[in-house]
Amino acid sequence: MKKYFLFGNWKMHKTIKETLEYADCLKGYVEYNEKFEIGVFPPFTALESFAKTVRSMPITVGAQNMHYEEKGAFTGEISPLMLKEIGVKYVLIGHSERRHIFKEDNGLINKKVLSAINHELVPVLCIGETLEERKSNKTESVIKEQIEQGLNGVNSNNFIIAYEPVWAIGTGVNATPEQAREVHKFIRELLFHKFGESSNDISILYGGSIKVDNFGSLAEVENIDGGLVGGASLDCSTFIELYEILKSKKLK
Ligand SMILES: O=C(CO)COP(=O)(O)O
């Protein structure tokens, strides 16, 4: 069954105290729904407190990154076993900030995707073109390469794709519904080619400057199965509002 997700990527924001206040605000607003899921991706230091606090709520928890090894001499890194231990379910892999600021390439991203799946974490593979690539008509070739190399060796459909055009992240310039429709359709076709019928259950999220006033028109697009929200997820009531928008569009 295809599920719709609203994920909040907090990036490097919120202390433990702020995280607990946020969890408190979510309480009571989110009801269990088998087709919809709301998930929060706090920074590592706040992950455990958040996971513990929302354990009895229909809210899931994700990490923003991980190393592919279980343990070792990797100063500053966090392993899949450590994430599993504290109740993390999802992990962002290959977020554009990891690709561009921390120079992660498709080869490394693929190792992380495979490791996440092996450890029964659900990878959220983030892909997207830069403005320069879009302007020189390379959007499809970049997306194809990121999908093919990122998912190399993956033979289950237990992962999520997040299409986040780099030029839309944190800029206030979201992809138009038409631009997003084209790329999401292209991604759906690539997934079908690789995974056949079972690819219909893979959720493809949109991310990049999602706000309350633009999310409705994006969420109603076919093959946009939810959102990965940065800045607008930092305020709990805005995040809940976005979740309600998603539900209202997909329940139509
Ligand atoms: O990078 C993003 C989510 O992963 C998007 O960030 P913004 O919503 O702040 O543009």
Q: Please indicate whether residue 164 is annotated as part of the active site.
A: yes
CB-based contact 12:31 (threshold 8 Å)? no
**Residue 232: per-residue pLDDT:** 98
* 85: Cβ contacts below 8 Å, ≥ 6 apart: none
Please state, rounded to an integer, the average pLDDT across all residues of the chain.
97
Q: Alpha-carbon distance 44 to 63, whole Å?
A: 7
Range of 213's domain?
Answer: 4-250
Q: Is the pLDDT of residue 44 over 90?
A: yes
Q: What is the pLDDT of residues 230-248, one digit of tens each?
A: 999 999 999 999 999 999 9
pLDDT digits over 62-120, tens only?
999 999 999 999 999 999 999 999 999 999 999 999 999 999 999 999 999 999 999 99
User: Span 164-192, mean pLDDT?
Assistant: 97
Taking the C-alpha atoms of residue 234 and residue 94, their distance in angstroms, rounded to an integer, is 21
Q: Which of 37, 95, 97, 129 is catalytic?
A: 95
pLDDT category, 252, cuts 50, 70, 90?
Answer: confident
Task: Indicate if 13 belongs to the active site.
Answer: no
Q: Residue 27's pLDDT is what?
A: 87
C-alpha torsion angle, residues 92, 174, 237, 121 (rounded to 10):
-10
In this structure, the residue with its CA closest to atom 8 of ligand 1 is: 230
| 24 Cα–ligand 1 center, Å | 23
Residue with tokens 């940065």: 230
Q: What is the CATH number of the domain that holds 195?
A: 3.20.20.70
Number of domains in the chain: 1
pLDDT at 30: 84
- The ligand 1 atom at the shortest distance from the C-alpha of residue 210 is 8
**Which residue among 6, 11, 211 is best mutated to probe the pocket of ligand 1, counting the most ligand atoms within 8 A of its Cβ?**
11
Residues with CB under 6 A from ligand 1: 9, 95, 164, 169-170, 207-210, 228-232
Full 3-state SS string of 129-140 = CCHHHHHCCCHH
Per residue in 125-165, pLDDT (tens digit) is 999 999 999 999 999 999 999 999 999 999 999 999 999 99
Listed range (26-30, 54-58, 85-89) with the worst mean pLDDT: 26-30
Query: ipTM of this model?
Result: 0.99
Mean pLDDT of 29-57: 95
